[in-house]
Amino acid sequence: MQTQVLKADSRGNVKLAADLIRRGETVAFPTETVYGLGADAANKAAVAKIFAVKERPAFDPLIVHVASVEMLSAVVSTIPSMAWRLIDTFWPGPLTLILPKRDEIPDIVTAGLPTVAVRMPRNEVALSLINEAGVPIAAPSANSFGRPSPTRAEHVMEDLDGKIAMVLDGGPTQVGIESTVLDLACSPPAILRPGGVSRECLEDILGEVLISSGSEGRMLKSPGQTRQHYAPRAKVLLFDGKCRERVVAAIREKIDELKNGNQIGVMVPEEELFHFTDDVVAMSLGSFTKMEAVASRLFETMRALDRRGVGYILTLAPPRKGIGLAVFDRLFKASGSQLIEVD
């Protein structure tokens, strides 16, 4: 199949994409977090194409995207008062809620679960596409399963060229990291995947919120949170420790150990870039004092290092607060859940 890449700033192109969705095809489109691979959420055969194209296991459920509260009511069977408060504050935006599903949502979307993940994206193109299609759109990130999520149309093409009907190119995404997935069925509510809305912001509205991101290796409530995820082809080594100087020294030592015959990539905060010179491919994540900007370039930097053909990516854990928690989570998953602690 030939994959068309069309600019999203033309209404005609958004209409073409919406037609494809209504006809049961898959289309990649921008959201404020990452690009999604969308299909009509009520059309089983169309949703099956998403799983096939991404090589995504059937046990990993999808997020359904809506453009209005009326559409939300067609997806979920009840909306508790806590959900309303979150919707009022954070929608449209990068917050996904897990709510009881309506029978109209086929099991393939939710991997057989009685609940459905749902969010209203903030991106204008995404909202117009959903409105033009007139149906809720099921969409995971538009990458091959396990790869870093795409934050540009080019990244979607790297993974899915020839496998999907169309990519709507809306330029780079703003947040750069996926939505926060929140489970409201438990008390206190639990974050199943940290993302674009921080724990602190949720706690302002809800009081205590737990983190259940699965780093303990137990059975996961969010089936997509497998141990190895968001990973570049290179092996990621994630360093952490209280003293920044010692962490940097440990990374330098590891470079010397691995250098023999290996091309090494390094992904560090701007402040530490000067420690890494000609012997490695060093890329800045931006300043750790501006964590939103770090989040927005994280996946892109992983892909860029992959294109340079490095065998290893050595990187440094950010502070786990605000959106830094989501950045840490993606790096941790990319490392195969192995943190190298430096004391």
Which residues form the interface with Mg ion (CB under 5 A)?
141
The residue among 110 and 141 lying less far from Mg ion, judged by its C-beta, is 141
Burial 31-59 (b: 16+ CB within 10 A, else e): bbbbbbbbbbbbbeebbbbbbebbebeee
The residue among 52 and 243 lying less far from ligand TXA, judged by its C-beta, is 52
Q: Which of 26, 43, 96, 315 binds ligand TXA (CB under 6 A)?
A: 96
Q: How far apart are CA 77 and CA 320, in angstroms?
A: 35
Sign of CA dihedral 46, 52, 58, 64: negative
Question: Residue number with the shortest CB distance to ligand TXA?
Answer: 224
Q: How far apart are CA 107 and CA 245, in angstroms?
A: 51
The residue among 6 and 111 lying less far from Mg ion, judged by its C-beta, is 111
Residues in contact with ligand TXA, shown as a per-residue x/- string from 55 to 94 under the rule CB under 6 A: -----xxxx------------------------------x
Q: Which of 13, 198, 222, 315 binds ligand TXA (CB under 6 A)?
A: 222
Characterize the bridge pairing of strands 137-138 and 36-40: antiparallel
Rule CB under 6 A: which of 168-207 touch ligand TXA?
A: 178-179, 181, 192-193
Shortest Å distance, C-beta 60 to ligand TXA:
5
Q: How far is CA 320 from the centre of its chain?
A: 17
Shortest Å distance, C-beta 300 to Mg ion:
15
Q: How far apart are CA 115 and CA 102, in angstroms?
A: 9
Q: How far apart are CA 78 and CA 76, in angstroms?
A: 6
Q: What angle do CA 313, 217, 117 make, to 5 degrees?
A: 90
Q: How far is CA 181 from the centre of its chain?
A: 10
Rule CB under 6 A: which of 20-39 touch ligand TXA?
A: 31, 33-34, 36
Interaction of residue 13 with ligand TXA, rule CB under 6 A: no
Give the number of residues in contact with ligand TXA, rule: CB under 6 A: 29
**Residues binding ligand TXA (CB under 6 A):** 31, 33-34, 36, 60-63, 94, 96, 98, 110, 113, 115-117, 139-141, 178-179, 181, 192-193, 221-225
